[in-house]
Amino acid sequence: MTKKHVALLFGGNSSEHDVSKRSAQNFYDAIKATGKYEITLFAIAQNGYFLDPESSNRVLALEDEQPIVDAYMAKIDTTDPLARISALSEGGDFDIFFPVVHGNLGEDGTLQGLFKLLNKPYVGAPLRGHAVSFDKAMTKELLTVNGIRNTKYVVLDPKTAKEWTWEKVVAALGDIVFVKAANQGSSVGISRAKNAVEFEAALSDSFQYDYKVLVEQAVKGSRELEVGVIGNEEPIVSEIGAHTLPNQGSGDAWYDYNNKFVDNSDVLFEIPAKLPESVTNEVKDMAIQAYKVLNLRGEARMDFLLDENNVPYLGEPNTLPGFTNMSLFKRLWDYSDIDNVKLVDMLITYGFAEFEKNAQLSYQFVTLGEEKIGKFN
């Protein structure tokens, strides 16, 4: 049987560049272990250029990246309007793209638009699903309209932020809030504020990453929950995972970038999360509802906050969840009897199925014929 050819994309120009490399290593190993696919690697450098397969293999092997990028840039014609993606022509023909690009490009719909233009199958959500879900403000608006419980919030830009004093924030959202850049991932551009000084500092930090910032009510006494979702029209959910930090219940700790990807030695993980059956069912149901409302496909991770009364609030979706050794998404499926090798095979199968389904849609146009223009005064 001829093996299908997978183009594995990783890296990117976001703050999650290095996270993407770690995720890609695990996806590469799992795809290879299936024995069913040929794999060609394409790293996307921090300057946004796709690197050729030879250079990409070196990047994935964690060689010093900048000299590799410099050498590649020196041999291409950057005046070519297609120079940024010209490396794709060096990998032969592909059957499917497998993006592992966290943050910008990979999760905002940019790459999915390219895949659609190239008329190729790909793993994961379509352009609209990624773009809407990557914008935290748009996501919350859709969740709210569809009755999916989430925390109170306001959306600010540099102009409206000047109108929101700390006193106004407390009156609307309470005395502990989270400030988030609307279009970032992996807890980048996110801060917790408990007073006016921290609030102003948090706004300054978030506005580095986006001109739209979400200010969100904190859930006091919370536990953080994660659940994986995979599939297309009929998605399935993983076991629920919980993670807790010392002092998290008092609002003095939260699951930040460092906990996720650098040092989680102080984090207490629990899979499956010990929850009342009714809460378990509600969280899983909310995850499925959100997955469908946001038009997601392939894979996603849904993050929840559970308050002191065991009421779950949907935090946000992640349409291309981290797959590093420290990522809970990777472990959730192990506890759900779907190991990494089986998982990647399922994701690739979902990608082909979604492409074949969409190929049935008609894009025929009607010939206009001769124009007959009416009379104007």
pLDDT in tens, 159-175: 999 999 999 999 999 99
What is the location of CATH 3.40.50.20 in the chain? 4-122
297 within 8 A of 125, measured Cβ to Cβ: yes
pLDDT on residue 238: 97
86 within 8 A of 114, measured Cβ to Cβ: no
pLDDT on residue 262: 47
Does a cis peptide bond (omega within 30 degrees of 0) precede residue 99?
no
> Pick the residue with more confidence: 190 or 352?
352
Mean pLDDT of all residues in 297-315? 96
Cα angle for residues 81, 89, 354 (degrees, 5° grid): 100
Q: Which residues contact 67 (CB under 8 A, 6 or more apart)?
A: none
The tokens describing 200, both together, are 């102003």
What is the location of CATH 3.30.1490.20 in the chain? 152-217
190 within 8 A of 156, measured Cβ to Cβ: no
21 within 8 A of 191, measured Cβ to Cβ: no
Share of the chain above pLDDT 70, in %: 93
DSSP 323: -
CATH topology for 223-358 is D-amino Acid Aminotransferase; Chain A, domain 1 (3.30.470)
pLDDT on residue 259: 46
Strands 4-11 and 96-100: parallel
Is it the case that residue 282 has pLDDT exceeding 90? yes
CA 154/CA 169 separation, integer angstroms? 9
What is the location of CATH 3.30.470.20 in the chain? 223-358
Mean pLDDT of all residues in 303-310? 94
Q: How confident is the model at residue 268 (pLDDT cuts 50, 70, 90)?
A: confident
**pLDDT tens digits for 104-126?**
899 999 999 999 999 999 999 99
CA 112/CA 351 separation, integer angstroms? 12
Mean pLDDT of all residues in 320-343? 94
Q: Phi and psi dihedrals of 373, rounded to 5?
A: -95, 135
CA 178/CA 189 separation, integer angstroms? 10
pLDDT on residue 246: 62
Domain at 152-217, CATH from 3.40.50.970, 3.30.1490.20, 3.40.50.720, 1.10.1060.10 = 3.30.1490.20
Q: What is the pTM of this model?
A: 0.90
Span 4-122 CATH architecture: 3-Layer(aba) Sandwich (3.40)
For 35, 161, 297, the CA distances from 338, given in Å and listed in that order, are 17, 45, 18
| Coil vs helix vs strand at 363 | coil
Is it the case that residue 46 has pLDDT exceeding 90? yes
pLDDT on residue 364: 82
Is it the case that residue 187 has pLDDT exceeding 90? no
Please name which of 136, 89, 128, 90 lies closest in space to residue 109, comparing C-alpha atoms: 128
**pLDDT tens digits for 351-365?**
999 999 999 998 887
Q: What is the DSSP string of 108-159?
A: SSHHHHHHHHTT--BSS--HHHHHHHHSHHHHHHHHHHTT-----EEEE-TT
pLDDT on residue 104: 87
- Average pLDDT value for the chain: 92
Is it the case that residue 260 has pLDDT exceeding 80? no
pLDDT on residue 366: 81
